[in-house]
Amino acid sequence: PCALVISVPLGFFGGIGAASGIGVLVKGSNYLEAAAEMETVVFDKTGTLTKGEFKVTSISPAEGFTDREVLKMAAHGEGYSTHPIAKSIQSAYEGDLALELVEGVEELAGHGLKAIYDGKELYLGNLALMKEQAAVSVEQNPDASFGTVVYVAYDGRYAGKIQISDTVKDGAKEALSDMKAVGVKKTVMLTGDRREAADAVAGMLGVDEVHAELLPADKVEWVEKLMEETAGKG
């Protein structure tokens, strides 16, 4: 019947138009149909479920170092970076940066960075970097609070850690709840952040499954694994 033939494309046009009205771009009707059938949705954490607006909330220096020294080293090491976490460290340090003292900055994917600061090796990054790359002894007192931790090692010594907090996006919890209401059965969060911070965010939002402390390649592997699991159920 003509009414049926006309209603199908109009339904797609209406759906695509309604989505664009709230800032969601749908490339075509086939993607709209695929979205309607999704049962598992995977999210990144920083900048997706959280705002990605970071602020230094605490500094814990190791013996022999001060708060000021730890922050100064971190600010110089991150001096050339535009990453949100790096910018938060730069903003927290109130002094002028003598970037001529920094050279040989090397990004260590999924771990942090290495640099030469004032003639000595400086490492900034996660706990794995401290153990594997910096080869220094780290005082382990896990902080279960919500946020990211940047560990600092200088001249072969563990210098301390900097706690940086992010905030959950407004409406994120409601969005996940709405997805469940229309048929999504499982929500998954993948993040390179530490387990404690990831669990804290997941608890706030009601995420079903969390995988933390992942490298970029690990995230790809998890997405592929979840796709295989979903295809197997189909």
Tell me how far apart the alpha carbons of residues 159 and 108 are, in angstroms, rounded to a whole number: 19
How would you classify residue 160: left for phi > 0, otherwise alpha for psi between -120 and 50, otherwise beta?
left
Tokens of 50: 């959280």
User: Can 118 be counted among the known catalytic residues?
Assistant: no
Place of tokens 């605490």: 58
Alpha-carbon gap, residue 135 to 127, rounded angstroms: 11
Angular region, 147: left φ>0, alpha ψ -120 to 50, beta rest: left
Q: Which residues of 20-37 are buried (b: 16+ CB within 10 A; e: fewer)?
A: eeeeeebeeeeebeeeee
Q: Which of 44, 143, 199, 218 is catalytic?
A: 44
Classify residue 95 as exposed, middle or buried by CB count within 10 Å of its CB (0-12, 13-18, 19+).
exposed
Active site residues: 44
